Amino acid sequence: MTYADDDRKPRRSRLRVGLATVLFIFYLGFVMWVTMTPSLDGVGVDTVADRVLSVLHRIGVPESFGYMELEFAANIGMFIPLGFLLGLALPGWGWWLALILLPAYSIGIEWFQSEFLGDRVGDVRDIISNSLGAWIGTLIAATLRAMVHARDAKVLARAKWEEERARRTQRASRDPNRTAVLEELGVPVDRTPTAPTRQIPF
């Protein structure tokens, strides 16, 4: 099948979908470990948070930016990759589902923490921050996909235009009168009886 005969939209990249799906599964496992662990005291979270706050305050961040604000920002950052990867893995028509699924997942996390993890407390602020991060990541993925789709569409349109031009030139080359006109206009004319047809490079 040639470019000129192919009116389909640019194909979905299987490599992108497969890689995004694998990375999403691994990162989801990390998020589940962070959010479902009964206690993170043993991994030094408080110590790391104190060090981060100390650095931030030294570089000019107001002292009012404390542990709660850092936790809110960290929750946003944790869910950005989740939204980004899910936005890439979902079908083209369904990327927006991530805008619903991930906030629902965050609600489930907070419910599980409040019901089954005595040392963890469900917090509405965590749902808000997680949802914000998920939406940011998903919108970044949607923007990237739109840019790639537009680029691929232009490449296919250019290729189909060039192939159609080559076909018209070949047909004109069989007519001496048309050939003379084309040559006067400076249009290259292929005088071979047949010309190879380029195939779609997929």
Domain boundaries, the chain: 14-154
| H-only helix segments in 5-123 | 14-36, 45-58, 67-89, 98-116
Say whether pLDDT at 34 is over 80.
yes
Cα torsion 54, 47, 45, 55 to 10°: value is 20
Range 75-104 average pLDDT: 92
Say whether pLDDT at 200 is over 50.
no
Buried residues in 131-168 as b, exposed as e (16+ CB within 10 A): bbbbbbbbbbbbeebeeeeeeeeeebeebbeebeebee
Say whether pLDDT at 23 is over 90.
yes
Burial of 109 (0-12, 13-18, 19+ CB in 10 A): buried
**Token digits of residue 134:** 């998920």
- Model confidence at 143, in pLDDT bands (50, 70, 90)? very high
> Between these two residues, 157 and 8, which has the higher pLDDT value?
157
Say whether pLDDT at 190 is over 60.
no
